[in-house]
Amino acid sequence: VIRLLRLSRLLKVAKIQKLVEIFTQRIHSNLTLTALNILKVAIAIYLLIHIVSCGWYFVCDAGESSQSWVRQDDAIDETFLFLYTSSVYWTLTQIGFGNSALEPQNDAELMYSMGVGCLGLFVCSWLIGSIVILMTRLIHLQKEQREQRDQLRDFMCKHRISWPLRNRIWTFLQQIRKKAPKHALQESNIALMQHLPKAATLELRAEVFVPALTTHPFFSTYAVSKANKFAMHRLVEKNALQEVAFNPEHELFADGEDALFMYFVTSGEFLYCSGNQHMNALMATLTLPMDASRSSGQSKPRPSHKMISMTATTTGGGVSHQRTEDRVAMGAVGWQMLEEGFYTSTCRAGDWMCEPALWLRWLHLGWAVAKGHAEVVTLDVLLFQRTLQDSLPQAAKYAKLFLAYANRHRDSLDDVFNDVSHLRWMAQDTFEPPLKFDIAQCVPHKLSNVRSEWQPADRRAWNKVWSSVFREAQLCNRSAMIATLTADMKNDVVMVYQTIFSNVPFAWASEEERISHRLKIGFLKRFFITLAVCSVKFSQHDNSEAVRPWPYPLASTICHGGRMLLRLQGIRWQDFIAFLLFGSNVTEDDLDFDDRSPPSPIYVRRAATHGCRLVEHSTQILEQRARGKETLRHGHMGMDLPLGGLGNPAPMASGQYFVGPSGVPYKRRLASGNRQYCMNVQHGHLYLRADDYGTLCMSPLAVLAQTTESNQSWASRESIIERLTGLRQVARLSSMGLADLPGQGRGSTFGDLPVSRDPDLLQNDWEPIPRISSTGLLKDIIANSGVAEDSIDEESVEELRRLLGKELVLEYNSEGELRLRGRLVFLHLESRTEARSRVLVQTQSKAKPFGQDYGTGYMGGAPDGTMTTYQSATSSFMTPPSRSYTTEDMLRRGQQSENLGDRSFLMEDVMSEQCEDPRIVTMLSRVEEPWMTTVARYCQEVFNLCSAAISQIIESCHDEADEAYLCEVECPTSVAWYHKNACCGLPLSYKALRVKAVIGVVEEDHHIMGDLLCDSFSTTEMTNKLKGFGDCTTELGGFIIRQWQWLRSENAAEAEGFARPSIIQKLPNHLVENVAALLIGVEASAPLKEDCFGQSHSVDGRSKDLSAFGKRKWTDYRKGGMEVPASLGGIRATVDAAKFQLIQNIADQILSLEENSKEEIDFFKSILVNSDHGVKEFLAQRDLMEPADEIQSGRVIRHAGSMVDRYISNI
């Protein structure tokens, strides 16, 4: 039974048929396939004969009867081979081949013989049928060629063609047949392709055509880039790609024909011949987007396949000495053209022709002829342009680069354009943009001596400036979103500039109209000077305390639907608005107004959808949406603006309209010269909301939240070293009773370089040293202070210079001594319920270096089931430097590690270093960072809290302001361990602000705080250098794992920062007079008006898709992952009395110049294109204000005349 069951293994033989089918699908030759079929029939017949023979022997040998041929006397003594061959011969005779003497001797043999005879009948029929089918197929393959030969023979006989010509024709056809490829099959020749589903057909076509296209740098770079691949899919789907075969000496295209295709050679060779050495004049304009003449929808012609010649005229030219094989290789036509003086080149498989047709209006400049049998993939130019115009905006950039290259190489450009190095550079510049926003790309350029992007030339250029390249398909592509944001912000700069400095002549209807227009333009000029002087900040979350300096062009602050929230401190809002309108020389009458009677051209608005709110305990001003009756409150004002510039083309869908005064578009009447205004349309409206909060009593934490430390000056080597040396000499003389230290206390200076003190910190005699510009200067200062030379090394000094002004400050005292000082924030986070009160404490911290064969990022639950969060590599809390690991390396490692699933990178066999440093929540603050920003950023990045939770923590800190104090602490080993490695032997201390926040009091806190209220959890932060953490000596980066636990107060007494030190400084309250708020935004139209885009400013106040400048709003860019301002309180600035005085001084100096003079225009161009830090540096270079504290972007753009100079700082 077991043996019979084993016979079931023979069922696996059925798989052989499937394997044979898979194998035959890989065979391309019909002859080989036919031979394989014959072999398959022979093998099947032999297997059948073998099985039948074995059965015949088994029946005869297994029977009990002695009457059997196997048991006969003459067969008993025979060998096994004789018995097997006898059985096979008997089987053949049963099929019908031969005659055997073996006859059935018993009933079993007789019955078996009858069955085999019936089987032989069917086998013979199958064998004969298979042979007939195979022979018929061979005859059919030869029949078509025989009929074609007969037809050609009859044709030549009918017309009595001469015998010499007949011989040449037959010889030529025989050569073609010998050289003809065996497998020149195209998709159109295969009938079964029509039965495939669409998805399978598209996938098949993609595998056929994409390899041919990607031989070109544009398509190969596009294929591996992060650009949207939908355009390639559309090209395949719309049949823009076709495969065409050519016989020898057939023409691909001819000189002077309109170029309708680009050709990719896939097999064979083409000879390109050109007598023209000059570029065709019709290529001078771009065809993306195409003009109307080429997009008329006419039927597209196919490539011509004309046979030029079969013979070459033998001449006595200068190339007659060439070898015979050269003539054969070039072909008859190629040889003839070479003799006639044509320029020739050969295009082989992998080459392409006629690329200029994709980007330019192009006529062929020569002939292309097949040297032998060849195949090409054709790309339809019209379908390509229409597809990429809609699906691939990057193609327009490549087209511009190609046009620029073509203009530079007019004398050498032809159909065979294969300057691969330049093509690859252009493709990389198109599809591999930087993954970070570059403000330098937002600068409008000068195109020629008479054309500039600052001044659009015609209505077509203006329509481009008024529109946006934003597409919904770009939301999932970061590089495309950055490119879109950059292009839109360049247009923002142009729009704002033209609004202020439009140079179109305009005939004023009245003097009042002209004065009103000048006041509006003056308002905008002084407003942007205000933004340039004040530090413009933005937050990514509504009214969040985590703010950053404005990184985009200053012109974009008003161009994308956002609103600027100005905090006026020590200034009446009436004084500020009067200054924006009239300048510094205002009279008492100009200041005598309120929000119910503002000065013209500002008028009162009855309603608005946004307003301001004051948080009393923190005096923070928030932006909010008005609801119900709040929309009708007083304080809403507006002013109509001529957006786009007076007299410039307006973005009207119908008619030739231009921007009129107050934004009302008009048409020009050629006959009378008058203007026809479109009174139902108004485009451009400035919204103002004013709130006066009077005198406020600010808590100490509110004062500190608005106070930052600054080192306002650059210092030279001589000023610093001479100053410190002099102080030490005076100190030595004073110690001997020979001199005093007059005038060397607080508020001293380095010569004429002023220094400032940080009002946050304890009173002492230490003063900060101004910014140090180079590593060599810092090294000299440290060495001059008496530090041992072995403590000073190049790496530590370079690291210290990087930290100065960011996390550390270098200070000196009256005795010339130096020290380093940092800033910390202690957050006493208390969870208070009816049953108990607990404090959040870091109980343990552990460092794990990067491993060699595992990822470096992890997100998920800890082994004990507690919460684990992931600290991004871009966090400012954990970014000490390293020469081995950069931020980009960590980001790449983090992205790779996301594919690890649930596998943790924290392997037990990897070295780890534990640091025993129990402490309450301790945050390392930047030098210029207010404490609320530090707390908000830490809670967001480390604890992963939402905006509501962060706001509640900060509000609770203000409620518990009485518990806040300042103190001095030592370096926290688990927070700022890398500071120790960079101190170069200088003393290091920290000034800490301790604040307290109470959470978990109500049930709602548990919903917004999430896992923060778990009894214990852990957080993971990534760093690129672990050296100095505990006893860790590795130079590698790694992870810091912190264990957090909520402890009762008596158990948390030993934690650093929990107990109050003996020496502290309490923070007093402050009175601040005249706190006010101004909310300023630019809307598309005034209330109850329609703008030029067809959008209405209706009563419901519904938000529109487009901003007043035709761009998408910040919300759309936020969907694409861009770091842009939030919808509420996203853009902010503070103006105090000192800044207001500086703003007035700069405005008086600039606006006193001749109106629209070159100096004034260059000044505002530089302001509009720069970021917050860049514009500060620009003003400092103009000696209009002190240098900025820190230029994070490192790049300042300054407009000088008609050129744009870029200054790269050495920071």
Direct distance between the N- and C-terminal alpha carbons of the chain, in angstroms, rounded to an integer: 89
Mean per-residue pLDDT of the chain? 75
Report d(CA 651, CA 815) in Å as an integer.
68
Least confident of 45-54, 365-374, 678-687, 930-939: 45-54
Report d(CA 1148, CA 281) in Å as an integer.
53
Q: Rounded to the nearest 5 degrees, what angle is found at the Cα of 94, between the Cα atoms of 91 and 98?
A: 90
Residue 827 has pLDDT above 90, yes or no: yes
Sign of the alpha-carbon dihedral angle for 366, 371, 372, 376: negative
Residue 1169 has pLDDT above 90, yes or no: yes
SS3 assignment, position 1103: coil
pLDDT in tens, 43-88: 877 888 888 888 877 777 666 656 666 666 555 566 778 778 888 8
Q: What is the pTM of this model?
A: 0.56
Average pLDDT over residues 703-719: 51
DSSP bridge pairs for 286: 360
Helix or strand (DSSP H, E) at 585:
none
Average pLDDT over residues 39-46: 78
Report d(CA 873, CA 881) in Å as an integer.
12
Of residues 701 and 929, more confidence is placed in 929
Tokens of 441: 């790309």
Tokens of 1028: 């100095």
Instruction: Please state, for a pLDDT cut of 90, what percent of the chain lies above it.
Output: 17
pLDDT in tens, 639-653: 999 999 999 999 876
- In contact, 1065 and 853? CB cutoff 8 Å: no
Checking 322-327 for CB contacts under 8 A at 24+ apart, the result is none
Omega cis (within 30) before 393: no
- In contact, 623 and 544? CB cutoff 8 Å: no
Tokens of 818: 């130096």
DSSP bridge pairs for 688: 637, 1080
Of residues 375 and 335, more confidence is placed in 375
Count of all residues that appear for the chain in the document = 1211
Residue 345 has pLDDT above 90, yes or no: no
Average pLDDT over residues 450-474: 85
Burial of 632 (0-12, 13-18, 19+ CB in 10 A): exposed
The three-state DSSP-derived secondary structure of 60-87 is HHHCCCCCCCCCCHHHHCCCHHHHHHHH
Residue 885 has pLDDT above 50, yes or no: no
Least confident of 499-513, 604-618, 733-747, 1025-1039: 733-747
Q: Which residue has the tokens 């008609």?
A: 1202
Tokens of 74: 């003459």
Instruction: Please state, for a pLDDT cut of 70, what percent of the chain lies above it.
Output: 72
Chain CA centroid to CA 254, Å: 43
Tokens of 642: 């001529």
User: Predicted confidence band at 280 (pLDDT cuts at 50, 70, 90)?
Assistant: very low
- In contact, 602 and 1080? CB cutoff 8 Å: no
Least confident of 19-33, 635-649, 1018-1032: 19-33
- In contact, 1058 and 920? CB cutoff 8 Å: yes
pLDDT in tens, 350-369: 899 999 999 888 888 888 98
- In contact, 1006 and 1000? CB cutoff 8 Å: yes
User: Predicted confidence band at 520 (pLDDT cuts at 50, 70, 90)?
Assistant: very high
- In contact, 1186 and 713? CB cutoff 8 Å: yes
**Helix (H) and strand (E) counts for the chain?**
33, 38
Sequence-distant (6+) residues with CB within 8 A of 43 are none
Average pLDDT over residues 1036-1046: 87
Residue 1106 has pLDDT above 70, yes or no: yes
User: Predicted confidence band at 788 (pLDDT cuts at 50, 70, 90)?
Assistant: confident
Of residues 1015 and 146, more confidence is placed in 1015
Average pLDDT over residues 580-593: 82
Average pLDDT over residues 936-944: 88
User: Predicted confidence band at 930 (pLDDT cuts at 50, 70, 90)?
Assistant: confident
Tokens of 990: 């920290």
pLDDT of residue 4: 59
Average pLDDT over residues 1166-1178: 91
Of residues 731 and 105, more confidence is placed in 105
Residue 482 has pLDDT above 90, yes or no: no
pLDDT of residue 307: 31
Of residues 716 and 792, more confidence is placed in 792
Report d(CA 502, CA 496) in Å as an integer.
10
- In contact, 294 and 285? CB cutoff 8 Å: no
Of residues 80 and 285, more confidence is placed in 80
pLDDT of residue 741: 38
Report d(CA 949, CA 1009) in Å as an integer.
6
User: Predicted confidence band at 768 (pLDDT cuts at 50, 70, 90)?
Assistant: confident
Report d(CA 935, CA 802) in Å as an integer.
23
Q: Which amino acid, 289?
A: P
Residue 289 has pLDDT above 60, yes or no: no
Among 651, 667, 676, 690, smallest CA distance to 1085 is for 651
